[in-house]
Amino acid sequence: MKVNEILDKARAEKRTILTEIEAKEILEEAGINCTRTILAASKEQAVALSEEIGYPVVLKISSVDITHKSDLGGVKVNLNSREAVETAFDDIMSAAKAKHPDANVEGISVQRMATAGLEVIMGMTRDPSFGPVLMFGLGGVFVEVLKDVAFRIVPLEKIDATEMVSQIKGKKLLEGYRGQPRVDVPFLEQMLLNLSAFIEKTDGIAEIDMNPVFAYEDGAVVVDARMILEEN
């Protein structure tokens, strides 16, 4: 099973942080829709992958030693040509070397630029008393400033997922506020149920952060993901 291979590889390398590509591969195995993300080890490979995936694309630094990719200029979005990809690749690698000279950089990930949707977040943390706890909320300023999130203990039943989505203060945005499209709430609820089922049967994961998740009228997709393993 791919999940066990990824987890075993990380443990053998004595690391607890997975790459974005590894995290997304695991989430896909759990039945959670993610943007296709592929590692490019060279500028030429980044261009080839971009043309295979189709423009516009996003390039991101791929390193378990660099957590906040955007802060160092490690993310370039809406790249529409070979020339833009080549320039972005060079800029990202230069920024990484300048700000994190000792970081182990495996390459640069390439993914198709996702169509913008309503930003939501999902995740999991382990509470010392209650065990794994799932989180759902609106993304962007709503989570950063208003802390508009809901929590439930694993395992989730369908009613739990429904309540999580419906109890946040900004639920009107999910329903289509001031002419904005209504998002696919049942799809979001199923993502939470799939995440719960995965966590229930998988040991050793300490934290999952899916942020942002773009929610649409039909479906949703995880654009960025972070996963941390438990020590030992």
- CATH assignment of the domain containing 50: 3.30.1490.20
Q: CA torsion sign, 184 to 120 to 80 to 106? A: negative
pTM of the full structure:
0.92
Q: Kindly report, residue by residue over 17-54, the tens digit of the pLDDT.
A: 999 999 999 999 999 999 999 999 999 999 999 999 99
Same domain, yes or no, for 77 and 140? Answer: no
Whether the Cβ atoms of residue 209 and residue 135 lie closer than 8 Å to each other: no
**Domain membership of residue 57 as a residue range:** 36-113
Name, of 70-74, 93-97, 173-177, the range with top average pLDDT. 93-97
Residue 66 pLDDT level (bands cut at 50, 70, 90): confident
Domain end (from 94, 113, 132): 113
> Which of 163, 174, 156 is CA-nearest to residue 217?
174
Question: Same domain for 67 and 138?
Answer: no
- Of the candidates 165, 169, 171, which has an alpha carbon nearest to the alpha carbon of residue 152? 165
pLDDT tens digits along 169-222: 888 889 887 778 899 999 999 999 999 999 999 999 999 999 999 999 999 999
**Residue matched to tokens 């030693």:** 65
Which DSSP state fits 116?
Answer: P
Residues 106 and 145 in one domain: no
For residue 158, what is the domain's CATH number?
Answer: 3.30.470.20
Distances (CA, A) of 183 to 2, 35, 96, 188, 209: 31, 18, 37, 9, 21
Number of domains forming the structure of the chain: 2
Q: Is residue 24 part of a domain?
A: no
